[in-house]
Amino acid sequence: MKNQTFIAAINCIDGRVQKPVIEFAIDKFKVDYVDMITEPGPDKILSENKALDIIESIKKRVLISVEKHNSKIILVVGHHDCAGNAVGEAQHRSQIKEAVKNIKNWDLAVDVCGVWVDENWVCYEVEREVKT
């Protein structure tokens, strides 16, 4: 894996958002690969910080990406028409911002970026916390 670069994306299981998120990550962050960690409605789960068993599972998978693939950025994604988190765009964006802050508290030496995927399957950066 020499000279191959990775990013970790905590994304919904919805197949419609996989390709747009991969394309966004490769284009914006100039990486070769995206490690996809999927969960239904991850922005809600990570923002509420209540489902600790699921959060721990997500974190373990993120750590594999960070430690084994040397990912320097973690994306947390919310999207339009999410079956696992059926709320409006404003609430998704709020949850994404809170999820970014909660992931930053994991104290990994990585940037954390929140991403919104709209009804046209276009990705937008919502929030970003840089490593300190």
The span from the CA of 75 to the CA of 23, in Å, is: 13
Ranges under pLDDT 70 in the chain: 1-2, 132
**Cβ pair 53, 97 in contact under 8 A:** no
Query: Residue 121 has which token pair?
Result: 């399957």
**Cβ pair 73, 8 in contact under 8 A:** yes
Structural domain harbouring 45 = 6-129
CATH number, domain with residue 16: 3.40.1050.10
At residue 1, the pLDDT reads 52
Q: What is the pTM (predicted TM-score) of this model?
A: 0.95
At residue 65, the pLDDT reads 98
Query: Residue 10 has which token pair?
Result: 């905590």
User: For the chain, what is the domain count?
Assistant: 1
pLDDT digits (tens, 9 = 90+) for 114-125: 999 999 999 999
Q: Is residue 1 domain-resident?
A: no
